[in-house]
Amino acid sequence: MRALDKIRQIKTSLEKISLANATKEAEEIVFHVLKTTKVRLFTENPLLTEEQVRIINSLVQRRLNREPLEYILGECVFCNIRVKVGPGVLIPRPETEIIVEEFKKSVTFLPRQNNRILDLCTGSGCIALSIAREFPELRVFGVDMSIKALSYASANKKINDIKNVHFIGGNLFSPFRYGAFAAITANPPYVTKGEIEKLQVEVRDYEPHLALNGGEDGLLFYRQIIRQADMYLLPGGLIFFEMGIGQISSIRKMAENEGYEILKIVKDLAGIDRVMILKRS
């Protein structure tokens, strides 16, 4: 069987479980196994070996079981860097790239007393690594309580050869006695405890609940971060939060009650209020 015929066959199979991007996913699986480019695959349409067909079929079966494609391929792309992912670490979402883009726009406004940036709930390290690569003069620290997630973050640091980032185990600010960070970025767990069972199968059954569960109202980590951040953030320092649907009012109120100025709210492509930028007065 030739590669393009196999892609069409996979597409048909994936459509049976109502995958919206069946064609793209079929192509990604074949690209992954053949270790080739899209151009070469479509121009040469190579003949598949029996071993290649066997491997492709095994990957397709995993996807038919609703395992996330990123886990099957073992990686994804975030802000143009390769991010290794797998069971035990949250898969980076495109909307999280907004934090990195907004940080890039705001970096000239950060306090100049030091060059330290703190990324809380770092997971795969995607935010920390993207910022560190873009700004080699900064010292970026990523913190997560999951040892499994930190192992992926460390691997991603090595894969992308980024030197100015350090990953540390701990719960939020616990690894640090005091502060002096120019900015804090955070994509904390924000799904309510009751909503987890309603998530799509790929998320509910495969991704770590530790990285999803934001407590009864989804705001547990925002409360902790906002209450403690002034001990670790320089005056004039910024906080970049990712938020869930409908959480903006509650997070805004928390922040204002603690004396933070709301600098900006950024919507994602779906029109959802997704990122909030706070300033410590």
End-to-end Cα, the chain, rounded Å = 65
What confidence tier does 66 reach under pLDDT thresholds 50, 70, 90?
very high
Q: Is the pLDDT of residue 20 over 90?
A: no
Report residue 281's pLDDT band, with 50, 70 and 90 as the boundaries. Answer: confident
61 SS3 class: helix
pLDDT at 40: 87
Q: What mean pLDDT comes out for the span 147-168?
A: 98
β-strand pairing of 81-84 with 75-78: antiparallel
Q: In this model, does residue 179 exceed pLDDT 80?
A: no
Note the pLDDT of residue 113: 85
Dihedral sign (CA 93, 250, 278, 184): negative
- For residue range 69-79, list pLDDT tens digits in order: 999 999 999 99
The predicted structure's pLDDT at residue 2: 94
Instruction: Return the pLDDT at 177.
Output: 85
Residue 28 pLDDT class (50, 70, 90 cuts): very high
Band of pLDDT at residue 260, cut at 50, 70 and 90: very high
Look over the chain and give the mean of its residue pLDDT values, rounded to a whole number: 96
Find the mean pLDDT for residues 92-107: 97
Interatomic CA distance for residues 27 and 13, integer angstroms: 13
pLDDT more than 90, % of the chain: 94
pLDDT at position 248 is 96
Residue 13 has pLDDT above 80, yes or no: yes
Tokens matching residue 216:
């009864």
Give the three-class secondary structure for 174: coil
- The residues near 202 (Cβ < 8 Å, ≥ 6 apart) are 66, 67, 68
**Where does the pLDDT of residue 154 fall: very low under 50, low under 70, confident under 90, or very high at 90 and above?**
very high
Task: Decide: 140 and 132 in contact? Cβ < 8 Å.
Answer: yes
Q: Is the pLDDT of residue 178 over 80?
A: no
- What's the pLDDT score for residue 157? 98
Q: 264: pLDDT confidence band, cut at 50, 70 and 90? A: very high
pLDDT of amino acid 201: 95
Q: Using CA atoms, how far apart are residues 37 and 5, in angstroms rounded to an integer?
A: 17
Q: Which pLDDT score is estimated for 112?
A: 87
Both tokens of residue 235? 């005056």
Which carries the bigger pLDDT value, residue 198 or residue 178?
198
What would the two tokens of residue 186 be?
Answer: 């955070």
Residue 41 has pLDDT above 90, yes or no: no
DSSP label at residue 46:
P
